Structure 1
């Protein structure tokens, strides 16, 4: 059979085989620049990590040195408490304490500035300011028979200091060095004894009695004047030590002008 089908489509010619030694050209790029930037980024990461590691090790060493130094200083302070140390060692202890006092004073000043800025209290610590109880609630009680002054708890200041059930003694809760003061005004005189007030203390054991301070004043029996006896002092007080004020005779006292207080010194 004879094929009579005809078309005008001509197939493309076959591709020309490449010549020997010929290679297709590659598009121009920035391969060298990319490699350079990659190397620089890697070096930057290594330097950054190394710097952080160096700073961490340096701070760690400084912290350990500071800790060991503080531990050494604390041990030296404990040794200073030994009464058998020589004069040279005690001189060194004195210098050490002066340095600590300077640091503590700076910290206290910073805390005071911070308190003023924040509106907080300017003094934080044990303190008391007592005013005398004017009129006894029960005149038939031993209120007027005791030689100790009774204080008005409701109108007094008490901070980290306790008052006894009888309201005559203040009990120390935190040991330390305290400033103590008292003022007693007498409105009448007695010919049998002098007008005297004294600040006394008892320790945790009831037999540990001390008279810390005392003062006197005198009145002319023919006049109606008043006299005031005042005392102040600084003492080291122990925990549970009690402080109170006694007078010659409570019936001779003008209770409107009597006060008693203390506060712990900061150092």
Structure 2
């Protein structure tokens, strides 16, 4: 054997092993596959992250546009439906306001016994009700219409005594303006008197702005002022 510690001669090659028919193949180091570098890993990570961000941005953009479009569609449909809704709402408001236009007048009790003469009844404003500004009170006996339309008008006059020749009359007078000539539009009569007699009249009347209504009778002294049966009322339809 050669002592390698005392000489510089290279050792002899190893003898071939037994049962070895194929010589080992030596692959050069330069041809071996190299591991992936850190730069490639960073590049791939950047690409994946960028794709994720783009996907999230695209989803958010589509979601926002879809929500905005739905809101616009709802607003458009509401704007198309709004006129009809507003019209219906206005109809109900007008109807509700029209029912608040009313009057119920109570006859005024005279301080002294009235003389037997014809005339229009005077109203007690402490116990009467009427809706301003649609209806106004004028000159003790008249109601002035400020809102035109169809009105249900009723009148009741209660008499405490009769007369041999004068009919017990309940007449509703109408005039176009304050200076117009009164014209009867409704009348009712009582023919017999036992204790009390009430003459009632009612009708649907079309009234214009400025028209006036009052109640007239043949003899103011025959009316029962102690009772609440003498009244003039109306309300709009």
Q: Shorter-chain-normalised TM-score: which range?
A: 0.5 to 0.7
**Conserved in 2, the CA contact under 8 Å of 1:182 and 1:230?**
yes
Distance 2:47 2:116 in 1: 105
Please point out which of 183, 206, 212 is paired with 1:210.
183
TM-superposed deviation, 1:145: 5.0
Taking the aligned partners of 2:62 and 2:181, their CA distance within structure 1 comes to: 71
- Spell out the pairing of 1:181-196 with structure 2 (5 A cutoff): 181-196=154-169
1:225 paired to 2:198 = no
Higher-Rg member (1/2)? 2
Shift of 1:61: 5.1
Q: Find the counterpart in structure 2 of residue 13 from structure 1.
A: none
CA 157–188 in structure 1, closer or farther in 2 if over 3 Å, else same: same
Matches within 5 A, 1:5-44: 25-26=38-39, 31-44=46-59
Q: Distance in 2 between matches of 1:33 and 1:147?
A: 103
- 1:60 to 1:104, Cα distance in 2 relative to 1, 3 A: closer
Partner of 2:9: none
Match of 1:163 in 2: 137
List gaps (5 residues or longer) in structure 1.
Answer: 1-20, 71-99, 113-121
Structure 1 position 125 matched with structure 2 position 92: no
Partner of residue 150, structure 1: 122
Give me the TM-score of the superposition, normalised by structure 1.
0.60
Q: What CA RMSD, in Å, does the superposition of the two structures yield over aligned residues?
A: 3.8
SS at match of 1:133: coil
For structure 2, the 5+ residue unaligned runs are 1-33
Structure 1 position 247 matched with structure 2 position 235 = no
Cα deviation 1:7-32 (Å, max 9, x = unaligned): xxxxxxxxxxxxxx999625768545
Aligned partner of 1:263 in structure 2 is 235
Structure 1 residue runs of 4 or more that deviate by more than 6 Å after TM superposition: none
Which deviates more, 239-248 or 199-208?
Answer: 199-208
TM-score (norm 2): 0.66
Deviation at 1:174, TM superposition (A): 0.9
Q: Once structures 1 and 2 are overlaid, which stretch shifts more, 37-46 or 193-202?
A: 37-46
Is the alpha carbon distance of 1:124 and 1:213 closer, same or farther for their aligned partners in structure 2, counting shifts above 3 Å? closer
Deviations 1:224-255, CA, capped at 9 Å, x for gaps: 52110011111111111111111111111012
Instruction: Name the residue aligned to 2:16.
Output: none
Q: Match of 2:8?
A: none
Q: What residue in structure 2 maps to residue 75 of structure 1?
A: none
Aligned 8 A contact 2:99 2:235 in 1: no
Query: Once the 2 structures are TM-superposed, how far is the Cα of residue 49 of structure 1 from its aligned partner?
Result: 4.0
Q: What SS does the aligned partner of 1:251 have? A: helix
Q: Which residue number in structure 2 is paired with residue 236 of structure 1?
A: 206
